[in-house]
Amino acid sequence: MISHVTGNWARQGDVGSRFRVDGAAATLVVPGDDGQTARLTAGRTPEAEGAAWGTVPESRWGSIHRGGVAAPVPSQPGDWSAFYTGFARAVRGTDRPRSTRGTPSPASRCSMPHGPARRQGRWSSSRHCSRIGQSW
């Protein structure tokens, strides 16, 4: 059971992890993003890099912490282009969302932010979330 999920965009320039998921049995920590911003600003493109786009080296993988022991967790390739293309289609009404009321996506099973968290642009929940991916 996941007890907290946080993503604090205000901490991007701060020392510490960018993403963290605290569960009853373990914590997942991801130190940074998938490097797409740096690649784009350097003039690189998804078309030129192909399957390497959105990947990170093993040194930047996340880690799962259980009982004082950390183990690396392979990162999955990011794909901002697919996200924004799907978002634009959904807003225009030319494509249906991938999840509906009857079939929520795994991330939507977590409670949504409220109060100060919503106003400050950070996501933090102490409510229970469904297990996503693996048992934590």
Predicted local confidence at residue 53, as pLDDT:
85
Q: Cα–Cα distance between 70 and 64 in angstroms, integer?
A: 5
Long-range contacts made by residues 46-55, C-beta under 8 angstroms, separation at least 24?
Answer: 46/79, 46/81, 51/77, 53/77, 53/79, 54/78, 54/79, 54/80
pLDDT at residue 99, as a whole number: 58
Backbone angles phi, psi at 70, to 5 degrees: -105, 140
What local confidence, expressed as pLDDT, does residue 100 receive?
54
Return the pLDDT at 71: 94
For the chain (136 residues), the mean pLDDT of every run of 10, in chain order, is 56 62 87 83 91 87 92 85 85 73 50 48 41 39
39 CA to centre of own chain = 19
Task: Identify the pLDDT of residue 135.
Answer: 39
